[in-house]
Amino acid sequence: MWYAASDTIESVTTATPEPPAPRSAATARIDVPLRLRTSRDRLREVVRGVSPEAWTTRPADGRWTACEILEHLALAEWSVVEFVRGTLLTAPRVADLRPRIADAEVLRAATDRTVRLESPERLRPIGRWSRPGVVCASIDAARDAALVLAVRSADALRARVAPHPQLGMLDGAQWLLFLAGHTERHAAQLQALVGGRRGASLAA
């Protein structure tokens, strides 16, 4: 098994004496740590089904192999984690904490494979890792770091914002939520590649 489970972040639960008041779709908050965990579980499930010969099989000219998809994921994971931890969390708090975009819309945009997104040059695979197990371990380590941020800095993340290239101003929690959706997007891409379903879109 190439992609070994290594969940190290414990769930954080708080008792509430009364159910929270209903919130509109525009203000409802998604459980970011939960989505980070479930998206990682989904990726692990897909990766376990990749045969050795499929790692370097290119589905079409210009399309990524399974190993290249994982390399891109590792680069994106660390890029967002380092940005949130080293830049966003050191920025001043914003006074207006009302969401500029709904959490649900962030997740929808991140997982929508009907629109092909162009990956920045620095996040494109170039063969930095030669073994699947090594790149999977890097993804796992980055996701553990993202979970630490989501659990321990939740309030601070919601109080900091930064522009996203596609979605505009996101708060810190939404940056991590986008990361979870990005993983789900590429898990679906990888599943289509491995399954070899005719007509399935392999758009990045």
The domain in which residue 60 lies consists of: 32-195
* Residue 71, helix vs strand vs coil: helix
Number of domains in the chain: 1
Residue 21 within any structural domain of the chain: no
Looking at 36-88, which runs of residues are DSSP E strands? Answer: none
At position 53, the amino acid (one-letter code) is E
Residue 204 within any structural domain of the chain: no
Residue 133 within any structural domain of the chain: yes
Residue 181's contacts (CB-CB under 8 Å, 6 or more residues apart) are 35, 39, 106, 107, 108, 109, 110, 111
The single residue listed with the structure tokens 């708090």 is: 93
pLDDT digits (tens, 9 = 90+) for 116-150: 767 778 888 887 876 888 999 999 999 999 999 99
The single residue listed with the structure tokens 């659990």 is: 151
pLDDT digits (tens, 9 = 90+) for 51-105: 887 788 887 777 888 999 999 999 999 999 999 999 999 999 998 888 889 999 9
Residue 68 within any structural domain of the chain: yes
Q: Say which range, 14-18, 33-37, 77-81, 167-171, has the weakest mean pLDDT.
A: 14-18
Specify the CATH number for the domain of residue 184. 1.20.120.450
CA nearest to 130, candidates 185, 193, 70, 183: 70
Residue 202 within any structural domain of the chain: no
Whole-structure pTM over 0.75, yes or no? yes
